[in-house]
Amino acid sequence: MANNMNILLVGVGGQGTILASKILTYAALSQGYAVKMSEIHGMAQRGGSVVTQVRLGEHIDSPVIDEGEADMIVAFEQLEAYRWAHYLKGGGVLIVNTQKIVPLPVLIGLAVYPDNIIHRLREKVSRVVEVDGLRLAAEAGNARATNVVLVGILARFMDFPQEVWQEALKARIPEKLLELNKKAFTLGYDYPGVVAI
Amino acid sequence: MKTLMTGNEAIARGAYEYGVRLAAAYPGTPSTEILENLAKYPDIYSQWSPNEKVAMEVGIGAAIAGARTLVTMKMVGLNVAADPLFTAAYTGVRSGLVIVSADDPGMHSSQNEQDNRHYAAFAKVPMLEPSDSQEAKEMVGLALEISERFDTPVILRTTTRIAHSQSLVELNQPGERPLKPYAKDARKYVMIPAHGRARRLVVEERLQRLVEYAEGVSVNRMELRDREIGIITSGISYQYIREALPNVSVLKLGLTHPLPPQLIRDFASQVQKLYVVEELEPYLEKEIRALGIGVTGKELFPPYGEFSARLVKEKITEASQAKAVPFEAPVRPPVMCPGCPHRGLFYTLKQLKLVVSGDIGCYTLGTMAPLEAMDTCICMGASISGALGMEKAQPDLAEKVVSVIGDSTFLHSGITGLMDVVYNGGHSTVLILDNSITAMTGHQDNPGTGKTLMGKPAPKVDFAALARAVGVQRVSVVDPFDLEHSKEVIKAEVATKEPSVIISRRPCALIIKTHEPPVEVHDCTGCKMCLKLGCPALSFNEEKKTIQVDGALCTGCGLCVNVCKFNALRKAGVN
């Protein structure tokens, strides 16, 4: 990897963005990269919008990714993809889990959840991977493994060897959930939607 | 060995490696995880105190007794703890005393954006500012060293981006954990005016020695590169400068109180154009200007919010970059969780159209739509005392005002307000929302939960007995999910012309391990009454024109069942 890589993981409190980022940083560190990661928590369990920023490369200064500077965005939810899309670089990859989690202002009728988000994203972003992560995770054995399905897709765009990811999963996931999550990772890694872009 | 650590984890690690024996804190974002991590090291005694002032005093006592000590808090916590700090600056310490102040530029989770660097100058104590996790760890050691060498408390000031960002930290083996012998020294530690006047001179003399020290300490370093632009900075801004302008010269200040005048002059003389880049207030800038040095700072940079590498680049090179236009996305604010006990109570307060004097905690979310049942929220404890002021100023309000305060916040600084209400004949009704945990900061124990930070069982404060003991005659307990009873009790107590306390008791939904099955919907009329609860598990299906329950979120608490007038929402299995 010649240059630094900036990855944003965005979602809703409780979706497992933090575990996903821990798998990613473990893999990057074992590949010898410098890594910095920034997240704002405190409100994470209250269903708010959450973002984790991961930067890796030969040398990293700022732990924060500026607008228009992300090489990849992994969005765990459609509206969050929409909210953060302008952080993507030209030519960057946007992975969108098609799950919709309706925010409270929409639930109580004070705001509207935008229509056709994926379509609108595709109009501005050339490389969009759309995935029903919930379905793939359920196929692996538990819908809660959606985060690891998304890590599997992300892995396709990184040049780390497969073993590194397997090691990272082993290090970051409890033993009894490991097999299920390995399956979830593989379903993401082999996801046909990746090939199209 | 190098490990990825947040600044907070690194500070805890530093305390472990550099011989800290005791640590005390009250939780507060972004400082909380320091003590949570420190509690994992069994060699160190660590504790939650009821508030920051108490934690500071425990820390001062421990340092005077001879142990290396760490006290941590968020920036507004230092307001609470300022009183002991200012005098501890006079007494000095026996063993090292480090006070972490975690500031929150951008107000991610705070009620104001105060710049606590001013506290170091105000209290006349040294201050260190790390720029990443490695420095955060090392600066715990340096702060302890300075504290002991100069006989003073030392502030270690972080910001959210230092506290919550992860970077690599080299781990070392812990050193010894020395305990100095105690000896009485009343002239030094009893601050009557006669002793204080003598110590006052010591403080000034110490500051002079610290200035000399600051000139040569390695954390204040000149990085000379291209001489056209020179930037003086500290903390996280250093990273933004290195990212944005890798070729400029930088004077990186790690010890930011007192400042090294000669080093600053020296740096200024070696560069053509001098800038200062600092988040929040022009703290460094004013000091630099006072030295008679021309510098550009707040003319370019805002005194609020967080900076970024892009901002630094744009302001200094005056080249603005084209920005992508964001999509218009509806906000996703934090909300009370499904099954949250606060929801029922705020629903009732809204129905009764009461004036609600609020406080700091999860329940501050009661101000958000659709509940919108809060009139004020200022600081920890202000709900009760503020309500007394309201009713004394506007007698009409006495029949309408209630104060709402959580269990942990009540113990932090609500009890003094309650005494004031009783002592000065207030009529207001105090609602203590006892969810048996300090929830907002991520579930820490407190004197009401029956457990300590280190996991030991502890006596529980009896809120009802405590209220009676300060003279409240009318004390009642309600279940916030029992809407009818809660409403009756609140109505009755508000109407009574004497102080009353209502304890609304139900544990936080996040600490309950087992939940009821999700609520079921039968023959919904689509009246949307239940949406007024603002529960994230309830939504309206526009096609079917009925309410739907998100089974993955619903805890089966049944609050919506109580609100539904048509018996359409039912507990699982109930017909």
Percent of chain B at pLDDT > 90 equals: 94
Report the CATH number at residue B273.
Answer: 3.40.50.920
- For residue A66, give the nearest of B242, B308, B330 by CB distance: B308
Answer yes or no: is B256 within a domain. Answer: yes
Q: CA separation (Å) from A165 to A23, A135, A177, B247?
A: 8, 22, 16, 36
Is B298 in the same domain as B260?
yes
| pLDDT tens digits along A122-179 | 999 999 999 999 999 999 999 999 999 999 999 999 999 999 999 999 999 999 999 9
Choose from A59, A66, A86, A115 for mutation: most chain B CBs within 10 A: A66
State the Cα–Cα distance between residues B351 and B346, nearest whole angstrom. Answer: 9
Tens-place pLDDT, residues B483-532: 999 999 999 999 999 999 999 999 999 988 888 999 999 999 999 999 99
Q: Do B311 and B261 share a domain, yes or no?
A: yes
**pLDDT (tens digit per residue) in B117-167:** 999 999 999 999 999 999 999 999 999 999 999 999 999 999 999 999 999
pLDDT for residue B324: 82
Instruction: Read off the DSSP letter of residue B67.
Output: B
Average pLDDT of the residues in B87-106:
98
User: Which of B30, B330, B336 has its CB closest to that of A42?
Assistant: B30
B233, B250 Cβ separation under 8 angstroms: yes
Q: What is the pLDDT of residues A169-184, one digit of tens each?
A: 999 999 999 999 999 9
For residue B434, give the nearest of B491, B488, B515, B511 by alpha carbon. B511
Q: How far is CA B181 from CA B62, B66, B67, B184, in A?
A: 12, 6, 9, 10
Number of H helices, E strands in chain A: 8, 6
**Residues B348 and B442 grouped into a single domain:** yes
Residues B306 and B377 in one domain: no
The two counts, helices (H) then strands (E), for chain B are 20, 22
* Angle between helical axes of A146-156 and A133-140 (0-180°, round to 10): 110
- Give the chain B residue whose CA is nearest to the CA of A38: B165
Show the DSSP H helices in B443-525 as ranges: 463-469, 483-495
Closest to B332 (Cβ–Cβ): which among A35, A40, A103?
A: A103
Does the residue B334 lie in any domain? no
The per-residue pLDDT for range B217-247, each reduced to its tens digit, is: 999 999 999 999 999 999 999 999 999 999 9
SS (H, E, C) A45-65: HHCCEEEEEEEEECCCCCCCC
Q: Which residues in chain A are contacts of B528 at CB distance < 8 A?
A: 109
Is it the case that residue B43 has pLDDT exceeding 60? yes
Chain B CB contacts of A67 below 8 Å: 310, 323-324
Q: Are A45 and B540 in contact (CB < 8 Å)? A: no
Residue B512 β-bridge partners? none
Backbone angles phi, psi at B179, to 5 degrees: -125, 115
Smallest CA–CA distance, residue A144 to chain B, in Å, is 11
B positions 98-117 inside 8 Å of A (CB):
108-109
* CA B468, chain centre distance (Å): 30
Residue B100, pLDDT above cutoff 90: yes
The residues, any chain, with a CB within 8 Å of residue B251's CB and separated by 6 or more, are B220, B221, B222, B223, B230, B231, B232, B233, B263, B264, B267
What is the ipTM score, two decimals?
A: 0.95
For residues B67 and B176, state if they share a domain.
yes
What does the pLDDT look like over B167-199, one tens digit per residue?
999 999 999 999 999 999 999 999 999 999 999
Compute, in degrees rounded to 10, the torsion defined by CA atoms B216, B221, B223, B229. -100
Does B441 touch chain A if contact means CB atoms closer than 8 Å? yes
Of A34, A61, A79, the CB nearest to B239: A61
- The domains found in chain A, sorted by start residue, are 5-189 (3.40.920.10)
Residue B115 located in a structural domain: yes
Do residues B209 and B348 both lie within one domain?
A: no
Domain final residue, candidates B184, B215, B246: B215
Question: Is the CB of A103 less than 8 angstroms away from the CB of B239?
Answer: no
CATH number at residue B564: 3.30.70.20
Going by pLDDT thresholds of 50, 70 and 90, the confidence category of residue B319 is: confident
Q: What is the pLDDT of residue A42?
A: 52
Same domain, B488 and B530: no
Q: What is the DSSP string of B75-114?
A: HHHHHHHHHHHHHHHHH--SS-EEEEEEE-TT-SS-S---
Q: Give the pLDDT confidence score for residue B1 in this predicted structure.
A: 76
Residue B336 located in a structural domain: no
* Nearest residue of chain A to residue B107 (CA atoms): A40
Residue B427 in domain:
yes
Q: Are residues B190 and B225 in the same domain?
A: no
Helix (H/G/I), strand (E/B), else coil: B181: coil
Q: Sorting pLDDT into bands at 50, 70 and 90, what band is A197?
A: low
Residues in chain A with CB shorter than 8 Å from the CB of B239 are 61-63
B202 touches chain A (CB under 8 A): no
Domain boundary residue, one of B194, B215, B236: B215
- What percent of chain B has a predicted confidence (pLDDT) above 70? 100
Residue A11 has pLDDT above 60, yes or no: yes
A31-58 pLDDT per residue, tens: 999 999 998 765 556 788 889 999 999 9
In terms of domains, do B363 and B452 share one? yes
Among candidates B327, B331, B337 on the partner chain, residue whose Cβ is nearest the Cβ of A105? B331
Nearest to B164 among A13, A40, A102 (CB): A40
CATH number at residue B169: 3.40.50.970
In 3D space, the residue among B216, B201, B206 whose CA is nearest the CA of residue B261 turns out to be B216
Q: What is the dihedral of CA A150, A75, A86, B4, to 10 degrees?
A: -70
How many domains is chain B built from? 4
Tokens of A67: 């607008």
Q: Which pLDDT band holds residue B262 (cuts at 50, 70, 90)?
A: very high
Residue pLDDT, tens place only, B443-456: 999 999 999 999 99
Give the per-residue pLDDT at A60: 97
B472 and B551 assigned to the same domain: no
Last residue in a domain, options B472, B493, B511: B511
Residue B333 lies in a domain: no
Interatomic CA distance for residues A99 and A45, integer angstroms: 18
Question: Does one domain contain both B8 and B99?
Answer: yes
Query: Is residue B443 domain-resident?
Result: yes
Indicate the residue of B308, B370, B534 with minimum beta-carbon distance to A64: B308
Range of the domain at B430: 341-511
- Output the pLDDT for position A43: 57
**What was the pLDDT predicted at A53?**
97
Per the CB < 8 A criterion, the answer to whether B346 and B406 are in contact is no
B250 touches chain A (CB under 8 A): no
Other C-beta atoms within 10 Å of B488: how many?
13
Tell which wins on pLDDT, A114 or B333. Answer: A114
Question: How big is the CA angle at A180 (ends A174 and A182), to the nearest 5 degrees?
Answer: 85
Look at residue A155 in the predicted model and tell me its pLDDT: 97
Q: In this structure, are B252 and B136 located in the same domain? A: no
Mean pLDDT of chain B: 96
Residues of chain B in contact with residue A35, where contact means CB-CB under 8 angstroms, are 4, 166-168
Residue B321 has pLDDT above 90, yes or no: no
Is A45 close to B337, i.e. CB distance below 8 A?
Answer: yes
Please calculate the CA angle B167-B173-B176 and round it to the nearest 5 degrees: 125
Partners of A13 on chain B (C-beta within 8 Å) are 334
The residue type of A148 is V
- Asked if residue B532 belongs to a domain, the reply is yes
CB atoms within 10 A of CB B483: 18
Q: Chain A neighbours among B 487-506 (CB < 8 Å)?
A: none
Question: If contacts are CB pairs under 8 Å, which of residues 311-340 in chain B contact chain A?
Answer: 321, 323-337
Other Cβ atoms less than 10 A from the Cβ of B517: the count is 12
Q: HSE-up of B302 (CA within 13 Å, CB side)?
A: 10
